[in-house]
Chain A
Amino acid sequence: DTGVSQDPRHKITKRGQNVTFRCDPISEHNRLYWYRQTLGQGPEFLTYFQNEAQLEKSRLLSDRFSAERPKGSFSTLEIQRTEQGDSAMYLCASSLAPLGSGEKLFFGSGTQLSVL
């Protein structure tokens, strides 16, 4: 069990550029989540995958954001035409069972995005 891994750890980009982040969940976990965390705040839910199906998206996820999990394993989160307000820590998490059953989340170390 190698844990949840995210790449890159840090990303600095200029406003208007596109960025893509990758998340590799714990191998036996079929549930994967993306969260966003800004300074001084708790993680905010963005989207959820069960296997390759994206089952829920937050209203926080504007049209510039897209997430995929093509084979039900790793996931990517892309932000197009980045804005300074997108600067945040993007966290990936995975779980073995549904959260509604009390399952805990396993988090990666996150990708810190800075938009200049």
Chain B
Amino acid sequence: AQKVTQAQTEISVVEKEDVTLDCVYETRDTTYYLFWYKQPPSGELVFLIRRNSFDEQNEISGRYSWNFQKSTSSFNFTITASQVVDSAVYFCALSQNTGGFKTIFGAGTRLFVKA
């Protein structure tokens, strides 16, 4: 079975603070993919980042960075120097090679960035 857990329901920060969103996943597959999507108030989910299970190298892309640790089944996402426009709901998601034709999403973390 596959499952994605986002324990943080809401996070509130002040602009320019760094913020980390937590994600823990469960899967029995050895080949899988992890994603972060952003859902602004307009409602449309937008893809942010992706990582496959064979690549634990952590990366930075602009103000976004992620920490993938297979040993703890975690895929945490950090926004550096947050901005008001980062206010949205962020979803961690999982696709696996034998998971059929679907991507499984966590419940989301709502991020408020105050000016």
Stretch of B58-66, B67-75, B80-88, B90-98 lying at the A interface? B90-98
A42 touches B96 (CB 8 A): no
Of A31, A91, A102, the contact of B45 (CB 8 Å cutoff): A91
Please tell me the number of chain A residues within 8 Å of chain B, measured between CB atoms: 29
Of B4, B33, B47, B100, the contact of A56 (CB 8 Å cutoff): B100
B103 interface residue per 8 A CB criterion = yes
Q: A45 to B106: give the CA distance in the assembly, Å.
A: 12
A25 interface residue per 8 A CB criterion = no
B77 interface residue per 8 A CB criterion = no
B107 touches A102 (CB 8 A): no
**Min CB–CB distance B40 → chain A (angstroms):** 10
B50 touches A110 (CB 8 A): no
Q: A55 to B75: give the CA distance in the assembly, Å.
A: 30
Known: A40-B107, A100-B96. A105 touches B47 (CB 8 A): yes
Interface size class of B (residues with CB under 8 A): 20 to 34
Q: A43 to B108: give the CA distance in the assembly, Å.
A: 9
Of A48, A109, A110, A112, the contact of B102 (CB 8 Å cutoff): A48
B104 interface residue per 8 A CB criterion = yes
A26 interface residue per 8 A CB criterion = no
Residue from A33, A43, A93 with most neighbouring chain B CB atoms (10 Å): A43
Q: A104 to B100: give the CA distance in the assembly, Å.
A: 15
- Could you list 21 examples of A-B contacts with CB < 8 Å? A31-B101, A42-B91, A42-B105, A43-B45, A43-B105, A45-B103, A48-B100, A48-B101, A55-B101, A98-B101, A100-B101, A102-B50, A102-B52, A105-B45, A105-B103, A106-B47, A107-B37, A108-B44, A109-B42, A109-B43, A109-B44
A67 interface residue per 8 A CB criterion = no
B11 interface residue per 8 A CB criterion = no
Neighbouring B residues of A62 by C-beta, 8 Å: none
B7 interface residue per 8 A CB criterion = no
